[in-house]
Chain A
Amino acid sequence: MANRIITVEIDESTADVTVDLAGYEGKGCAAVQEAFARMLGNTTHSTHKPEFNKVPVKTTCIKR
């Protein structure tokens, strides 16, 4: 199981919220981000970590 850590940071001087998702790939990331945005307000800025676009490697063995 991947170690997926969510860090929610709230700036006390502006009340701006940043949600950092580590260890997620693709759709799972978007679903978590959307859940927090629904509660806390619209997303104004979003960036992806390199692992977001990681495509799982499928290995196939062929018997000869």
Chain B
Amino acid sequence: MSAYNEVSTIYKDEECLLQALKEMGYSEVEVHETAQNLIGYHSDVRTQQAHIIIRRKNISSASNDIGYFKNADGSYTEIISDYDKVKHDLRWRTGLKSKYGEAGAMKTARKKGFKFLGRTVVNGKIQLRFQDRKAG
């Protein structure tokens, strides 16, 4: 049985986290109002619970569920097994963070009424440009 690890994250927005997961290849994700138990490799119900769950059938046959538990402060804690950390390593998690950052920046700009000017990638850096048209 692979042990689960809990990792604090910067994710605070459900919509942006779901979008980032989709862009990282997980479009089938469960979202729950009340945290649900994660399921392990042997179809065993684990004690760990999460509000956003990628079920193991959508990862690989030997995987455990991956979950994101919503804390009281609105941030999410990632719950991932030792086994799944091999596929979802630092590089994968950095990719997820980048996608979340992009989705979060776009959502913030939309909320503030900024005009989107464009997206460029220069030397491994994604640049999103906006114009604030409000008088001030």
Contact = CB atoms under 8 A, between A and B. Distances in A.
Interface of A: 1-15, 17, 23-24, 28, 32, 35-36, 38-41
A17 B100 CA distance: 11
20 contacts: A2-B136, A4-B136, A5-B132, A6-B109, A7-B130, A8-B129, A9-B128, A10-B102, A10-B105, A12-B94, A13-B94, A13-B124, A14-B94, A28-B136, A32-B112, A36-B108, A38-B12, A39-B104, A40-B104, A40-B108
B127 interface: yes
Give the interface size class of chain B: 20 to 34
Contacts of B133: 1
Interface string B97-136: 1100110110111011010010001001111111111011
Nearest to B109: A6
A5 B101 contact: no
B107 A39 contact: yes
B16 interface: yes
Contact of B131 (A4, A8, A15): A4
Interface string B19-41: 00000000000000000000000
B94 A35 contact: no
Given A8-B127, A9-B127, A15-B97, 10 more contacts: A4-B136, A6-B114, A8-B128, A10-B105, A12-B125, A14-B94, A24-B132, A39-B107, A39-B108, A41-B10
Given A5-B130, A39-B108, A10 B10 contact: no
